[in-house]
């Protein structure tokens, strides 16, 4: 059990701080009262809003700022808030109104000067840590929340930046909002910004009341604060060990004999008065008016459009990475040099080399697509959970926009790879064969990418997913029809699960359908040039009537490729549906 008999209230115009040692339950309490506790957490008791049950509509009026600033590094401040506004503001809001709301948030948080600066991160310079935290707060201010909750907002900030942040939060509270924040060990200047304090120790309440009166209350218990000691340091010392447990028992006895009521109309009106009479936030909700959050966010088509635009901008650096481009070009050039014009040899030996070229053409883009896609959802999962908790969009909209935004590069890089090796390798020079080869490779890449997405979303741990993907890909490669011809019957069924097997068969049919190759020399593996140089006395070259038997191919190249295309398309659809279902279940369980 994490929390025990915690009771308190938040009023408009006040800033409540949850303080205590590490592991005291601050973040857990904040998550529970905001309605964002994990599904696995069970609670007893009540959380009310204006004296009524804390409904989903009430939860939408709560802004929640996580301790870690989950922001896309490649977006600017304006883009970050602009996309959030497009997704969170009511569907009838015009673009001009959204822009005004974003502008107001920038001004309120002092972010106007860096509006066109990217967020940045470890490898890309951007805004400062304090500005990142204010962007996270601005993300929540867009919906004009009645309640604003923040988890360790000053963590990692210097004292001056932390003070400016708390002053900003206090101004937001004075505008008629109820503000609650967890805070670990504030300086004396930070502590002066607090209105109320709840001190926790091992999940129990040690003190709850005015932040100004905490020292005098502990003095009545015989714990006087030494001269020159910071209030927060004094309180955290008291909250440690057996001393903290004894004080929580004293507090528990003092509250068990008193009546503690949920905040009702009278309390809200009192809070509004202390906030300067601002009729907004909780008071506005009590009066029956619907805030922006109550009218719902963007419609489904808008969600798809905005998320697609955001995904494209977020991925503009990684998708257009010169490293990925150079990797594809260099590997294709090396491959083309090794198999230079082997497709035009005409002999059985040349055909054998072409089989190897087709297998490598299939494997390299598939490997790249699968292992790259393993990171897609693990990298975005925390952002997805955060934005889903705010009701910004549906999981299906996120998934579809992510899949569509990946398509251009999923098609462009394999196409570049094929163009280089196809003509350097001297493969079949007809438009139909080239376009069919390209389409087959793109289809195979999409299936490989889908399998990578499934493994990534199933494990949500790239290292584990990479290990499993390596085993699966190795198995699929071995049963693909190139390395091992005589697979034992009891295990041969695995090849029918391998997209490598079906993709390889498809490429073989495209390249060799109706083609004529010659068996030259006593071994049958001589070349046409070698036979001509040997003169009339040499054994003549014979046209190969059964290429499948001669090269021990896994398929009859003269058959229709419809089966392979159908199986790969079915795999693609099935894997994509499995990815979506797994992602949806993961987000539900979180």
Q: Is the same domain home to 136 and 242?
A: no
Q: Is the same domain home to 106 and 247?
A: no
Domain presence at residue 273: yes
The tens digit of pLDDT for each residue in 432-441 reads: 999 999 999 9
Domain presence at residue 391: no
Give just the sign of the alpha carbon dihedral 383, 157, 104, 309.
Answer: negative
Q: Is 426 helix (H, G, I), strand (E, B) or coil?
A: coil
Q: Is the same domain home to 290 and 340?
A: no
Domain presence at residue 315: no
- Domain range for 198 is 1-61+145-296
pLDDT higher than 80, residue 165: yes
The tens digit of pLDDT for each residue in 105-117 reads: 998 888 889 999 9
Q: What is the mean pLDDT of residues 303-330?
A: 83
Domain endpoint, select from 280, 296, 312: 296
Residue 181 confidence (pLDDT): 94
Q: Is the same domain home to 100 and 157?
A: no
**Dist CA 218 CA 208 (whole Å):** 12
**Dist CA 109 CA 165 (whole Å):** 9
Of 88, 62, 587, 76, nearest in space to 306 by CA: 88
Residue 121 confidence (pLDDT): 82
Domain presence at residue 311: no
Please state the separation of Cα 440 from the chain's center in Å. 30
Q: What is the mean pLDDT of residues 242-271?
A: 56
Residue 527 confidence (pLDDT): 46
Domain endpoint, select from 142, 161, 177: 142
End-to-end alpha-carbon separation of the chain, Å? 19
Q: Is 18 helix (H, G, I), strand (E, B) or coil?
A: strand
Domain presence at residue 570: yes
pLDDT higher than 70, residue 271: no
The tens digit of pLDDT for each residue in 384-419 reads: 999 988 888 999 999 999 999 888 888 888 899 999
- Contact between residue 410 and residue 84 where contact means Cβ atoms under 8 Å apart: no
pLDDT higher than 50, residue 291: no
**What's the number of domains the chain is made of?**
3
Q: Is the same domain home to 507 and 363?
A: yes
Q: Is the same domain home to 3 and 129?
A: no
Residue 440 confidence (pLDDT): 95
Confidence of residue 228 (pLDDT cuts 50, 70, 90): confident
The tens digit of pLDDT for each residue in 526-558 reads: 444 444 444 444 456 777 777 777 777 888 888
Q: What is the CATH number of the domain that holds 18?
A: 3.40.50.300
Domain endpoint, select from 126, 142, 158: 142
Domain presence at residue 399: no
Residue 398 confidence (pLDDT): 95
What is the reported pTM? 0.83
Q: Is the same domain home to 154 and 122?
A: no
What is each CA distance from 572 to 498, 548, 563, 568, in whole angstroms? 12, 28, 14, 6
Domain presence at residue 54: yes
Domain presence at residue 395: no
Confidence of residue 464 (pLDDT cuts 50, 70, 90): very high
Q: Is the same domain home to 454 and 485?
A: yes
E strands in 131-193: 147-151, 178-183
Rg (CA), the chain: 33
Chain mean pLDDT for the chain:
83
pLDDT higher than 90, residue 571: yes
Calculate the CA dihedral of residues 369, 370, 372, 378 and round it to 10 degrees: 140
Q: Is the same domain home to 231 and 90?
A: no
Residue 418 confidence (pLDDT): 92
Q: Is the same domain home to 48 and 79?
A: no
Q: Is the same domain home to 349 and 488?
A: yes
pLDDT higher than 90, residue 582: yes
Q: Is the same domain home to 352 and 500?
A: yes
Give just the sign of the alpha carbon dihedral 202, 207, 212, 217.
Answer: negative
DSSP string, 176-198: T-EEEEEESS--HHHHTT-SEEE
């Amino acid at each position: 059990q994490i929390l025990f008999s915690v009771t308190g209230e938040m009023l408009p115009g006040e800033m409540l701080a949850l303080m205590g040692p590490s592991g005291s339950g601050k973040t857990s309490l904040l998550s529970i009262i905001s309605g964002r506790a994990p599904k696995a957490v069970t609670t007893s008791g009540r959380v009310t809003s204006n004296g009524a049950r804390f409904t989903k509509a009430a939860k939408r009026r709560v802004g929640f700022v996580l301790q870690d600033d989950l922001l896309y590094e490649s977006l600017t401040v304006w883009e970050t808030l602009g996309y959030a506004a497009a997704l969170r503001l009511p569907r009838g809001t015009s673009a001009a109104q959204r822009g005004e709301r974003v502008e107001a948030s920038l001004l309120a948080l002092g972010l106007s000067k860096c509006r066109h600066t990217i967020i940045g991160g470890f490898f890309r310079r951007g805004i400062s840590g304090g500005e990142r935290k204010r962007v996270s707060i601005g993300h929540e201010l867009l919906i004009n929340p009645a309640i604003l909750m923040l988890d360790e907002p000053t963590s990692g900030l210097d004292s001056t930046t932390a003070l400016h942040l708390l002053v900003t939060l206090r101004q937001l509270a004075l505008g008629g909002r109820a503000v609650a924040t967890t805070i670990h060990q504030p300086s004396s200047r930070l502590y002066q910004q607090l209105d109320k304090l709840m001190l926790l120790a091992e999940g129990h309440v040690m003190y709850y009341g005015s932040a100004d009166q905490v020292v005098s209350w502990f003095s009545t218990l015989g714990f006087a604060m030494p001269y020159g000691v910071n209030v927060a340091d004094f309180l955290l010392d008291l909250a440690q060990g057996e001393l903290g447990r004894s004080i929580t028992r004293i507090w528990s006895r003092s509250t068990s004999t008193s009546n503690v009521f949920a905040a009702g109309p009278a309390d809200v009106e009192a809070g509004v008065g202390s906030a300067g009479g601002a009729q907004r936030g909780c008071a506005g909700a009590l009066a029956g008016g619907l805030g922006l959050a109550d009218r719902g966010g963007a419609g489904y088509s808008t969600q798809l459009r905005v998320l697609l635009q955001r995904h494209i901008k977020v991925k503009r650096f990684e998708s257009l990475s010169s490293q990925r481009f150079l990797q594809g070009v260099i590997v294709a050039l090396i491959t083309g040099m090794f198999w230079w014009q082997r497709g035009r040899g005409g002999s059985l030996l040349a055909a054998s080399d072409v089989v190897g070229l087709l297998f490598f053409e299939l494997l390299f883009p598939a490997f790249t697509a699968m292992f790259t896609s393993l990171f897609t959802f693990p990298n975005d999962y925390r952002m997805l959970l955060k934005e889903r908790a705010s009701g910004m969009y549906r999981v299906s909209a996120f998934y579809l926009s992510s899949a569509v935004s990946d398509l251009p590069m999923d098609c462009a890089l394999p196409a570049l790879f094929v163009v280089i090796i196809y003509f350097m390798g001297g493969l079949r020079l007809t438009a139909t064969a080239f376009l069919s080869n390209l389409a087959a490779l793109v289809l195979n890449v999409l299936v490989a990418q889908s399998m990578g997405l499934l493994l990534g979303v199933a494990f949500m741990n790239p290292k584990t997913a990479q290990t499993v993907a390596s085993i699966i890909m190795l198995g699929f490669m071995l049963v693909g029809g190139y390395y091992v011809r005589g697979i034992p019957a009891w295990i041969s069924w695995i090849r029918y699960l391998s997209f490598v097997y079906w993709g390889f068969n498809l490429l073989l049919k495209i390249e060799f359908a109706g083609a004529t190759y010659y068996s030259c020399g006593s071994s049958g593996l001589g070349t046409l040039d070698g036979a001509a140089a040997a003169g009339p006395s040499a054994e003549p070259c014979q046209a190969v009537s059964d290429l499948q038997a001669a090269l021990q191919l896994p398929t009859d190249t003269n058959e229709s490729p419809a089966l392979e295309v159908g199986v790969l398309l079915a795999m693609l659809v099935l894997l994509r549906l499995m990815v979506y279902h797994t992602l949806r279940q993961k987000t539900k369980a979180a």
